[in-house]
Structure 1
Amino acid sequence: MAVNLERHFNFSEIQHLKHNIERSERLHQAQAEHLCFVLRVERYIADPTFQSLVKSKHATNTSYDVYDLVITDGKFKLKCVLWTALNAFISKGRVVAGSVIKLTKCTLLYDETDLNGFNFVLIEDLTVDGTDINFSVNEERIPWSPDACTREQKQVPLASSRGCYVSLWSSFETYGEVWEQTVPDSQSVSDTTVLDCYTLKELSRLGRSIKASSIPPVIVRVLTRSRLRQYAKPQKAEKWPYQISMVIGDRSGSCTAVVWNSLCTKFNKNIQEGSVLLLENYSVKPHFSVYTYANQTKVIKGSHYDIDLNLNPYNPECKVTIIHASAVESCWQLPSLEYELIDRKQLGRLPDNFICDIVGLVIFLGRYERVAPQTTDSLGRRETFWVIRDVELVDPSFVYTGKTFVIKLFRSIQADTLDRLCPGDMLLCSNMRVVHNLTLVSNSRQKRHVYLTCTGETQVTIIQKSRSTLDHPVVNQLITWASSSRGSAVVRAATYGGYFSYPPLPKDLQLYKQLWPENRAMQITQSDQWESVLQSLSYRESRNLIVQADIVRICHHSLKYVHYRRTSEPKMLVDMEFREEVKFQHPDYMSDNGTVLGSTELYSESLPCKFSPHGREHILSQATFPPSVYSSGLRRAQGASPALAIKPSFSYESVTLMGLNHPVMLHTVFLHSELSLHSRFINVISNNARSRAQSHGNEDSASWRCLCHIDLHQLDTGRTEIILNMAYLLT
């Protein structure tokens, strides 16, 4: 039920906020606390403008992210800047659109180079009062505070020269209305324009000898296009640091075209693979784009020319016309958009890093996880995040081989498509890269855990079974199979969510060491740093933790659903029977000294759920992140529905680790899908440790020293999932 803001806030808070801050600073008085409601949380990349505005109050600032908050008391609203030292409030999901916060310390900063007196509120300290109240708020009806400047009222970063905000949770996704522009297709092209057009072959011959004032038009088809690339850096003041790379082709061959800067906002949604473009006023330069592809023969049937067509918003201003399919003439002889579709049987025979297209039926849909790149920025930080989800697809060969496509999809390629993906959907993925993980392969008979990952040019499409526009034998075969009884049975067994790790780690320590080449040494975290690592996790962040520790306790847990009770609500209440059995316990486990981290509990969010057509809304709600803009009645889905549990019973081990030098214990959870895997882990550890202890004559105090690979994930609920992926006994 929505609650009116009038019952919670003082209507004089926002209207006089700037005045009260300035007065308290001038008189050197303690600031009054201000209670307010967060309407918006928006992010942008720091730049020199931000550095110059805040340096008068804060001599040093090396942050990558800056956040603007739009706050209200119900009567007026105001846009403020959050001091970067408080970024953890946002990155950990503690302050979101819809939070109630109390401002305890603020500063009013002026732009001393602006004669109009531009100023803004810098929030230097705050406390969170709550996020669970569903307030009835319509932001559009709340006026701006009388002293809000013009820039505050625009949809642009407040303390920066950037042209737009970026996604709140991913460093590589678009955000805001500026990216929603649509350009209508042209229904016709004049005969004069067509006659004036050059081919790409002719352009390559003339090269830079063409005068900018007489560049001829070209008509081309987009064969592949990259995701939108952002190259903003804190030390560079670029308003539109964006780029889109494409391979374009005509009857004579193909070349690369690059869309730059603000032109990307206009055409990011409108130019797709297969689009036919009329390009005018572009510039021709030698090939220097970042576009790369491992298998050129996939998209290039003729010659590929070593030139770039640069489409700029100025000097010169490029004119791009998207030609409607009905206006495309066959006499132009444009290359068709083709797919090199493979089936699952062919995948194992393809070389490493091969670029291919696949199509399949979704049988597993992993959760979204935020992963920091392996490399850091120039300041050594890891503030940028990819948003990734694992997906399993099958094709008709699954019935005979039992093999699936395991793919890792990055949300930045097409967030709107991935957000509405569900088990049972047919998914077409183009320009995927094959990964064999050959480091661990020593002979041809050894099992290879092959998977596919995205490239910068990957495109994903959900195929409608009843009206597919792609006429390809592989697609038609999949549609027929998916509609059969066998295909339907596979979909009924589909799952989503929960902990998922692929490819599996090697079982041998020496093979595990091969995963770490000389230029990327294994990073073993010391026990005195375990707590800080857990505390540093951001919202939905996944990270690996490698530790050397003693196993001091192993406990077997079993959970069984014994009764389902239907209620009037969509979900059911479940009665559960819980048992635990200690398999091993070292005397040091009972010590009260030191820090205890983690939990022996297996969280429901770590378990996959069985797919049901009635649970489609639950799946889609789990795909969403806390929004940047508050909407009344919009609540975050947390956890998994017990009614959708994959099995009526399951078991797991809790494994407790102890640091070698520091009195700190870490509880981890070891999951096993098969009894053999469970037995192997317990027996190998216990048998080796017991034989070693017997040789020393003291079995009860056996020390099980292991190298442990742990998977961490920060859940929506604020709890940390700590999964023991693999433990290697050290002798």
Structure 2
Amino acid sequence: MATTVARRAGCILQRTISWPDGGHPRSESAKTCREPLYLISLDRYGKDLGFGIFFPEAIHASDSLYDATVSDGDCRLRVTIHPSLNPLVERNDLRCGCQLRNVTFSSVAEADDGTDGDGCPAYRVVSLEVDADAGGDAGLEAFCGIDLDALPWFGLQGDDQPSPLPLRAQRSSYLPLWNNQDYRGEMWRDTPPPGGGGGSSESDSGEGTEDLQPTVTLQEVRQGFLSRSRVIRGVLVVQILQKSRLFYYGRAERNCKSPYKAILEVADWSGRATVVLWNSVCMDWYRCVHPGVVLRLARYRVKESYNSRMGENEQDDIEISLNSRNPSANISVIPRKDVLSQWRLPRPSYTFYSGKDILSCPLGATCDVIGLVVFVGRAERTRRKDSQGMELWEYRWLRLEDGTTNQPILVKLFSTSQPEIHSVIHPLSILVCTNLQLVRTAPDRPSSFQYLTNTSLTQVYCTGSGHHSTMPYRRLHPVRQFIQWLQTVDENQVLHRAVIGGFFSYPPLPVSLERYMKNRKGEPGLVSGAELRREAEKLQYRESRMFAIQATITAVSYTVAGEEEGSLSLSTVPAGPIPSTPCSPDHGGASIIGSSPPSSITLSPRSPRLRAGLGLAGSSRSAKRRLFHNAEPPRKRLALPLCSAQQADLEEDRDFSLWEASMEFLERNEDEDETDSDDDEDDETLSFVTAATSPLSPRRSQLGVVRAAGETLPRQFCPQRRVVQAAAMGLQPGRLQETLPERKLDTFALADCYSGHYTLSLRALTDGILINTLFLPASPGNLHWIPHPHPHSNSWEAILSHGGFSPSTPPPAPSDLIAMATQMTSQRLVCVLEVCQLGGGRMEVVLSRAFPLRD
């Protein structure tokens, strides 16, 4: 389009923030757009030293800044979100696809012409309102059938594009939206840069015409550095043995444009060493190098290693630093066909442990595993402390099988800086995880539980990513043994128990209050109801945290999967007077409630008041405002171009089988000589109930509704729709083209392991605040929520303290358990709650344990 957007007659942005006489703003000014706009992309990056200049009044905001793209349907505008609005993004209230109202733009005149340096007008959004009535799918509906990438940019001529770099910081790339461990953007090269790394070509360095022969060994480099007699920087030829995740060290007090590093463990015939990729070299080479790749290195620096400086590993004494300057490193990949045997390069080594071997491994052992994935949990985030402070880390739970034991291999998998591989991990795929560490709870007790988790060198390889056929481990005996076992597996049986998503917690908590308090290891103790509410409101999107609170149970209900009426029961436990407390903020169905309904009313499933509560929670939203109308069938009205998940949902996915997955281990490598139901479910699958509420306050009635969110419930794995299912289980994307409709998750059948859930209303003993919690008891025969091995009486007290039913006897029927709720009358409990912020004002609170308090 050859005209500027400012000349488009019907453009809302043009009417709101156009410049007089076609000029540019020379001083800061603010204008508010009253008409609806849509958020179509969101990008995150770290602050730098210039933050105080742009946002002097928000100096104490979070360490992140956000750039967004908004559109009115006629054009697009790139803006910076004011840091005061960061909490809306961090809670996922402000997300791609939402409709915005009363957006106030403030111009930022950085250059003399009032632009950000590339001709694009510089604006920031200082205030806005998210139109909740429009719904989360407002953007998808407004832009159905429209190619977003074809929309022109406000203030730019023709096909001109805004800068792909962050707008308000000197950073060379954006960060992932929800973690700091992955890479994001086209700046991260997936092929080697021309002429080597560090920004210098081989011809410039004078080394491009030399042959591939090494001129120095790692041993000579090490001896020269340690003796301090001379500096040796000859040409090294090394093979990569291990590769670390990315380390992001960007901080607001630093102006480093590419604050990244990555570690490679390399070797030649003379020894091993650590190679560190720094800054822009890391961005150029991190995606290009893998274990088994042979590198030619020149123009590097030799330093004392970090581990040696910290006194952690005296053998790892030096590190080879590859940077873009002082000097500019020269790196090249030597093809396998050019690797000479006289170099005697050692191959990567692996230590594969079977599921049976892991049972007898010592605590802290490092191992590699291969297994068939039977469960992939939802993505969650947790705060972890590193040398720089607290940081949110993304993780998922995986369950693997390898046929050597009935005990599954459980893996708590954090990000390994391989986002393209993590995105294709799904049930019935074959997964290899290297350099995992064994964690065991209460190693001195026979009932301890164990799982595997990351080290800094953990890497994962999954069928569908194309790595198995090129990795050297596929010829090892443990891997071949696993493939032989896989050929005997009944695929239908595995598919029947394959589960994806939903709430999952491991390892199980102790069954006694004394043991639980002993294992807290310095964590904060009991909190009051007000403290719980305050801390829960601080949680960011998909952040999970555990709390303990003293409370009594005031009501118990049960919800059957797929049945809203006829199978519900609600029992109210008599309780003493409840102090009046102010109502908590409305979180749109959040589980934390700041007001207490009367406890003397008992409702049946067919009670008019219960029906009213259900209708209030399940009522359809008001008519969504549509910017465009399209008469095409609903399945075709999607934003274009389609993401892979949307495309897979529109087209019939290709068949998938274990046989196909195993073929990756049998394919011939080019440098080797040897060979070796899509039906949608109705809304009734999600049943929910409401506790007794005061008829005087509809708002309190809404807050009292407890409905298990779609993210809480585990789903059956659907091989034919695995791409869209994995996307629906993932975190909120940063582009509208990658966003799925809100209810897409509910089109997948509930897993057989889920038959229903209990809802327990708790009253905090300290201040009377009411908390509605979900209780998902483990039961015999349930392979997903496995009961604690200790038998018990299946009384309420025993069930709550064990987190589920006795493994030795059939569980009581829900109606019988509801009838026994009076056992908990006036019983004081220490309740352990697992709280997760699901985004969009939805707070999931799951009761994990409830221990009785003895006088």
TM-score for both structures, normalised by structure 1? 0.83
C-alpha separation in 1, matches of 2:24 and 2:572: 66
Matched, 1:455 2:455: yes
Which residue number corresponds to residue 728 of structure 2? 622
**In structure 1, which of residues 172, 186, 189 is the aligned counterpart of residue 181 of structure 2?**
172
Which residue number corresponds to residue 42 of structure 1? 43
Task: Give yes or no for contact 2:62–2:86 (8 Å, CA) kept in 1.
Answer: no
Which residue number corresponds to residue 283 of structure 1? 301
Aligned length: 678
Which residue number corresponds to residue 809 of structure 2? none
Which residue number corresponds to residue 395 of structure 1? 402
C-alpha separation in 2, matches of 1:704 and 1:684: 13
C-alpha separation in 2, matches of 1:29 and 1:448: 61
Matched, 1:245 2:263: yes
Which residue number corresponds to residue 101 of structure 2? 102
- AA of the residue aligned to 2:277: V
Change over 3 Å in CA distance of 1:174–1:413 after alignment to 2: closer
C-alpha separation in 2, matches of 1:609 and 1:29: 48
More contact order relative to length (CA 8 Å, sep ≥ 6)? 2
Which residue number corresponds to residue 143 of structure 1? 152
Which residue number corresponds to residue 760 of structure 2? 655
C-alpha separation in 2, matches of 1:552 and 1:376: 44
Matched, 1:538 2:540: yes
Task: Give yes or no for contact 1:179–1:266 (8 Å, CA) kept in 2.
Answer: yes
1:499-538 correspondence to structure 2 within 5 Å: 499-517=503-521, 520-538=522-540
Percent same amino acid among aligned pairs? 24
Shift of 1:151: 12
Which stretches in structure 2 are left out of the alignment for 5+ residues? 197-201, 578-596, 600-692, 781-786, 802-821
Matched, 1:231 2:264: no
Which residue number corresponds to residue 696 of structure 1? none
1:232-381 correspondence to structure 2 within 5 Å: 232-288=250-306, 306-373=317-384
1:693-704 correspondence to structure 2 within 5 Å: 702-704=825-827
> Deviation string for 1:68-103 (max 9, x for gaps)?
112233444322111111112222223223333234
TM-score for both structures, normalised by structure 2? 0.71
CA RMSD of superposed structures (Å)? 4.0
C-alpha separation in 2, matches of 1:341 and 1:390: 20
C-alpha separation in 1, matches of 2:332 and 2:704: 57
Task: Give yes or no for contact 1:68–1:157 (8 Å, CA) kept in 2.
Answer: yes
Task: Give yes or no for contact 1:626–1:636 (8 Å, CA) kept in 2.
Answer: no
C-alpha separation in 1, matches of 2:113 and 2:843: 47
C-alpha separation in 2, matches of 1:612 and 1:100: 32
Matched, 1:410 2:407: no
Change over 3 Å in CA distance of 1:642–1:120 after alignment to 2: closer
**In structure 1, which of residues 655, 663, 669 is the aligned counterpart of residue 774 of structure 2?**
669
Which stretches in structure 1 are left out of the alignment for 5+ residues? 297-302, 563-574, 688-698
Task: Give yes or no for contact 1:560–1:577 (8 Å, CA) kept in 2.
Answer: no
Task: Give yes or no for contact 2:26–2:109 (8 Å, CA) kept in 1.
Answer: no
C-alpha separation in 2, matches of 1:484 and 1:196: 48
- AA of the residue aligned to 2:164: Q
Q: Secondary structure at the match of 1:178?
A: coil
Shift of 1:661: 3.1
Change over 3 Å in CA distance of 1:348–1:104 after alignment to 2: same
- AA of the residue aligned to 1:730: L
Which residue number corresponds to residue 590 of structure 1? 598
Shift of 1:277: 0.5
- AA of the residue aligned to 1:652: H
Change over 3 Å in CA distance of 1:485–1:175 after alignment to 2: closer
Task: Give yes or no for contact 2:265–2:272 (8 Å, CA) kept in 1.
Answer: yes
Which residue number corresponds to residue 299 of structure 1? none
C-alpha separation in 2, matches of 1:701 and 1:630: 48
Task: Give yes or no for contact 2:416–2:459 (8 Å, CA) kept in 1.
Answer: no
Task: Give yes or no for contact 2:25–2:113 (8 Å, CA) kept in 1.
Answer: no
C-alpha separation in 1, matches of 2:308 and 2:350: 23
Q: Secondary structure at the match of 2:282?
A: helix
- AA of the residue aligned to 2:176: S
Shift of 1:428: 0.5
Task: Give yes or no for contact 1:245–1:290 (8 Å, CA) kept in 2.
Answer: no
> Deviation string for 1:298-346 (max 9, x for gaps)?
xxxxx95521100011110001111111211111100111210011111
> Deviation string for 1:263-298 (max 9, x for gaps)?
11111110111111000000111122699999x9xx
C-alpha separation in 1, matches of 2:537 and 2:176: 23
- AA of the residue aligned to 1:323: I
Change over 3 Å in CA distance of 1:141–1:112 after alignment to 2: closer
Q: Secondary structure at the match of 1:334?
A: coil
C-alpha separation in 1, matches of 2:800 and 2:774: 17
Which residue number corresponds to residue 163 of structure 2? 154
C-alpha separation in 1, matches of 2:192 and 2:710: 46
Q: Which moved more, 1:589-598 or 1:359-368?
A: 589-598
Task: Give yes or no for contact 1:497–1:607 (8 Å, CA) kept in 2.
Answer: yes
Task: Give yes or no for contact 1:253–1:305 (8 Å, CA) kept in 2.
Answer: no
Matched, 1:79 2:78: yes
C-alpha separation in 2, matches of 1:252 and 1:471: 26
C-alpha separation in 2, matches of 1:578 and 1:371: 37
- AA of the residue aligned to 1:65: S
C-alpha separation in 1, matches of 2:753 and 2:321: 59
Which residue number corresponds to residue 127 of structure 1? 129
- AA of the residue aligned to 2:760: V
Shift of 1:9: 10
**In structure 2, which of residues 775, 798, 803 is the aligned counterpart of residue 684 of structure 1?**
798
C-alpha separation in 1, matches of 2:430 and 2:374: 10
Task: Give yes or no for contact 1:13–1:35 (8 Å, CA) kept in 2.
Answer: no
> Deviation string for 1:477-509 (max 9, x for gaps)?
111211214566334322111111110000111
C-alpha separation in 2, matches of 1:680 and 1:291: 56
Shift of 1:523: 4.0
Which residue number corresponds to residue 680 of structure 2? none
Q: Secondary structure at the match of 1:474?
A: helix
Which residue number corresponds to residue 713 of structure 1? 836
Q: Secondary structure at the match of 1:97?
A: coil
C-alpha separation in 2, matches of 1:700 and 1:274: 63
Task: Give yes or no for contact 1:427–1:461 (8 Å, CA) kept in 2.
Answer: yes
Q: Secondary structure at the match of 2:482?
A: helix
Q: Secondary structure at the match of 2:251?
A: coil
Shift of 1:623: 4.1
Q: Secondary structure at the match of 1:341?
A: coil
Matched, 1:475 2:472: no
Task: Give yes or no for contact 1:599–1:668 (8 Å, CA) kept in 2.
Answer: no
> Deviation string for 1:423-471 (max 9, x for gaps)?
111111000010012xx3444xx12211000111100011579958511
